[in-house]
Amino acid sequence: MTSRSRNYRRNRNREFLLFGLFVLVLLVVKWLLPEPETQNPAGTARIIDGDSVIVAGVEIRLLGVDAPEMDQTCERGGARWKCGRESARRLRTFLGGARVSCSGGNFDKHGRLLAVCRRGEVEINHWLVEQGWAVSFDDYPAAERAARKAKRGIWSGSFQRPRDWRER
């Protein structure tokens, strides 16, 4: 083998290696940087439960709130009622097929976007807590106090906080 052919082979191998590294860097960058529409989806919301929705194909966990789980029950006037299903139903009715816009940045352990969503000028996360269909994760303490005082939603009787209910 001549030195010319060795140099050609060495240069060709180097080019393949550089091309491979370039492709790898592009893949890593794409993986690390979420698409903007993934972080700010907008459109009609499909309700999963009282604090989770799908907007524009993105599964969203409403940030700062915790609604009763779908199978969770609460008690009011000595009778048990399906407060988890009622929370989801109230959210569905409130949104009524209207356009929803969400903004988030982080994802939870299940891959859901953690976001604050709005229906027009109304922040949905705040609305859920204020109406008593979710409790606050320290983000909406005044709204939770108001719902508790007015005995709205789940505050109209007794219930186990959704986090505690899930842990049992």
Q: What is the pLDDT of residues 9-21, one digit of tens each?
A: 666 667 766 666 6
Cα–Cα distance for residue pair 115/96, rounded to 1 Å: 20
As a CATH number, domain 36-167 is 2.40.50.90
Q: Where are the beta strands (DSSP E) in the chain?
A: 42-49, 52-55, 58-62, 65-66, 74-76, 79-81, 99-107, 113-119, 122-123, 135-136
Of 134, 133, 123, 131, the C-alpha closest to 150 is 131
φ, ψ of residue 76 in degrees (nearest 5): -150, 125
In this structure, what DSSP letter does residue 153 have? Answer: G
pLDDT tens-digit readout, 102-147: 999 899 999 999 999 999 999 999 999 999 999 999 899 999 999 9
Number of residues that this document lists for the chain: 168
For the chain, give every domain's residue range.
1-33, 36-167
Q: What is the pLDDT of residues 27-79, one digit of tens each?
A: 665 566 555 457 899 999 999 999 999 999 999 999 999 999 999 999 999 99
**pTM greater than the 0.85 cutoff:** no
